[in-house]
Amino acid sequence: MNKKMKLLAETHTHTIACSHAYNSISEMLERAKQLGLELIAITDHAPSIPDAPHEYHFLNLKALPRKIDGIYVLQGAEVNIIDSEGNLDLPEMVLARLDLVITSFHEAALSEEISEDYTEAYINVLKNPYVDIIGHCGTPEFPFDIDKVLNEAKKQDKIIEINNHSFATRKGSLENCLKIAKRCAELGVKIVISTDAHSIYEMARTEVAQELVKRAGVSEDLIMNLTAEKFISYLCKRKGFKRSRFESEEPFGLPTLDVFNK
Ligand SMILES: [Zn+2]
Ligand SMILES: [Zn+2]
């Protein structure tokens, strides 16, 4: 593996749709261009987080083109796992429309006290066909049986996220993530290295996560966000999306002059 990887696809970012993030989609995109990125996924928090946008935010993402100034803009969400059955806080009808679904545990969004073991919840979530990525699972507050969950991830061809943001905000994540990443390497489970950027200044900052993945011995073929092509191909293959879905430079649903000919 090279000394410093170039990760051309940002798979986890937040915008001013949540009040605890600080830049607009246009600003994020401008920064992505400066950084030479090929893809940015907009994955704002789903509604159970107190300052998250309403469900309508996710339904109306179609107002955005999927390709802006040559950069792929994926329409996603960071959805909350709310109970041990693996229920999520966006309805299936919304999840089905999104390009990318990350699912994470956040204390504020849990609807019930799950026992100390979050294994069952993760396994149920992994079985959900709309879910692509398990977000920041190295958080020590949500312990789980690593082998059981990673084996299910492998079976379902899902991705485990190594989240750079966690190493500043979620104490104890470093040791846990190293353990998880090592098992991903051994079992051949796919990963992404994400920023979870809440401002433009956090974009492309993945130094700690990269070093951790290197120390864990994860091979490059398992890192799914090295290029836009690799990430989009994964989504198309697993979710049955057409490649053309990601090439539209117009908002979906914009009327054309053809309406006069009907
Ligand atoms: Zn999160
Ligand atoms: Zn996040």
**54-95 confidence digits (pLDDT tens):** 999 999 999 999 999 999 999 999 999 999 899 999 999 999
Distance, CA of 101 to CA of 118 (rounded, Å): 19
Q: Which pLDDT does position 1 carry in this prediction?
A: 46
Res. 174: pLDDT tops 90: yes
Counting ligands in written order, which one lies closest to the CA of residue 139? Answer: 1
Q: Which ligand is nearest to the CA of 109?
A: 1
pLDDT-based confidence at 170, cuts 50/70/90? confident
Residue 205 lies inside a defined structural domain of this protein = yes
Instruction: Determine, yes or no, domain membership for 250.
Output: no
* Mean pLDDT of all residues belonging to the chain: 95
Strand partners, 67: 72
**220 part of a folded domain:** yes
Ligand nearest to the Cα of 15, by number: 2
Q: Is 252 within the bounds of a domain?
A: no
Looking up residue 16, the CATH number of its domain turns out to be 3.20.20.140
Q: 163 CA to middle of ligand 2, Å?
A: 9
**Is the CA virtual torsion 96, 154, 116, 108 positive or negative?**
negative
Which structural domain range is residue 21 located in? 9-241
pLDDT of 96 strictly over 60? yes
Average pLDDT over residues 218-243: 98
Please give the distance, rounded to the nearest whole angstrom, from the Cα atom of residue 205 to the centre of ligand 1. Answer: 16
Structural domain contains residue 262: no
| Residue 58 within any structural domain of the chain | yes
Q: How far is the CA of 78 from the centre of ligand 1 (A)?
A: 7
Q: Is 67 exposed, middle or buried (0-12, 13-18, 19+ CB in 10 A)?
A: middle
Task: Report the number of distinct structural domains present in the chain.
Answer: 1
Say what the pLDDT of residue 133 is.
98
- Rounded to the nearest angstrom, the distance between the alpha carbon of 12 and the centre of ligand 2 is 6
Q: How far is the CA of 196 from the centre of ligand 2 (A)?
A: 5
pLDDT at 216: 98
In a domain, 137, yes or no: yes
Residue 132 in domain: yes
What average pLDDT does range 192-196 have in this prediction?
98
Note the pLDDT of residue 209.
96
Ligand number nearest to the C-alpha of 80 = 1
pTM of the model as a whole: 0.96
pLDDT at 3: 62
